[in-house]
Structure 1
Amino acid sequence: MTYPSSYRPALRRARLPLHATLAALTLAACSQPAPEPADTEGEADPQVAFMANLSQHCGQAFAGQLVSTDEADADIASQPLVMHVASCAPDQIRIPFHVGDDRSRTWVITDTGTGLQLKHDHRHEDGSEDAVTQYGGDTAEPGSATRQEFPVDAESIALFEREGLAASVTNVWAMEVDDTVFAYELRRPAGENERFFRVEFDLTTPVETPPPAWGSE
Structure 2
Amino acid sequence: MCASYGLDPRFKDQELMEDADHELLEGIRAWAQGNADETLRPTGRILRNLNPIVVPGEAAPAVELAWWGFLVDGRPSKFPSINTRSERLQDRPGSLRGRAIVPATGWFEMQKPSKQWHEFGLDEALFGMAAVTQRGRAEDGSWYTCYSIVMQPAVDRLAGIHDRMPVVLPASFGADWLAGAPSRELIDEALTASGSIADRIAATPRADDKGSERLF
TM normalised by structure 1 equals: 0.29
